[in-house]
Amino acid sequence: MINHKSDIFSIQTIETIQSDDFFNLIEKNRSHLALGFPYTILKCATPESTKDYLKESAKTIADKKGYFFYLRNKKTEALIGLVNIKNINKEIPLCELGYFIDREYQGKGITSMAVDAVLHFCFEELQMNKVFICTDKVNIGSQKVALKNGFLQEGILRNEFKNPKGELNDVVYFGLLRSDYYKNTTVKRNKEK
C-alpha cells in the first residue's frame, strides 16, 4: 500500500494501531495539536473515546472517504505521528492531506518523508489530480513540509478556520498537481543517480 524505506520510522495502517498508543500520542501532544487538530483532540479526550475515534476512522477507510497512516519509531516502537488523507473529491479528483508529529520528533525530516510516501499513494493508488494542504499561518513547520514536497502556495484563505478558542484564523492553502508531482519525482530520481 505505502512504499517507504527508513531506518528511523515505519508507516502503518489502522489495523496495527492500539487505541492506548494513539491516546498516549495525543495526550503527550495535546496542547501542541490543539490548533491544527481540534476535532482529533476533542474525539480523543479519554482512552475510551479514542477507541471510538479509531472505529470511526476505520469506517472512513472502509467507505473510502479517507485514509490514515500512522508513524512508528522503529527503535522504541512508539507511535510518533499521523498522516491522513481527507476531503476526497473523486469528481475533480482531489484530496487534502493532514499531518502531525510528536513534538519530540519535529525538525528531523520525518514528516516530510512520510508525506512523500503518502503522496505516491494519492497519485498512484487513488489517481488524484491534485492534493492540497491547509495550514494555519503561524504553523511554519507545516508550511515547510508542504514546500519541501513540491507544493505551491496558492493563496491565503481569510477567516477560514475556527480555532478551539472560537477565533477565526487565516489558512495558507498549498496545492500540488499530479503533473508537477511527476515532474518533481523525475528530477529527484535523476539527482539520486
Reduced to 3 states, what is the DSSP secondary structure of residue 49?
Answer: helix
pLDDT of the residue at 165: 82
Mean of the per-residue pLDDT values of the chain = 93
**pLDDT for the residue 35:** 81
The pLDDT of 85-99, averaged and rounded, is 97
Question: Which of the four pLDDT bands, split at 50, 70 and 90, describes residue 25?
Answer: very high
Rounded Cα distance between 21 and 73, Å, is 12
Mean pLDDT of 88-117: 97
CA 37 – CA 51 distance, rounded (Å): 17
Reduced to 3 states (helix: H, G, I; strand: E, B; else coil), residue 121 is helix
The Cβ-side half-sphere exposure at 66, using a 13 Å CA radius, reads 18
Are the beta carbons of 170 and 156 closer than 8 angstroms? Answer: yes
Give the pLDDT score at 107.
94
Question: What phi and psi values does residue 80 have, to the nearest 5 degrees?
Answer: -125, -5
For range 46-75, the mean pLDDT: 97
- pLDDT for 157: 96
Confidence of residue 19 (pLDDT cuts 50, 70, 90): very high
Q: Is 144 helix (H, G, I), strand (E, B) or coil?
A: helix
Q: Is the pLDDT score of 120 beyond 60?
A: yes
Any idea what DSSP says for residue 79? Answer: E
**CA of 66: how far to CAs of 93, 96, 103, 112, 121, in Å?**
13, 9, 24, 20, 12
Q: Go through the domains of the chain in sequence order and give each one's CATH number.
A: 9-192 (3.40.630.30)
Note the pLDDT tens digit of each residue in 123-182: 999 999 999 999 999 899 999 999 999 999 999 999 998 887 888 999 999 999 999 999
130-136/94-101 β-pairing:
parallel
The cell for 123 is: 497519485
**pLDDT of 190:** 55
Amino acid identity for residue 118 in this structure: V
CA dist., res. 27 & res. 178, Å (int): 36
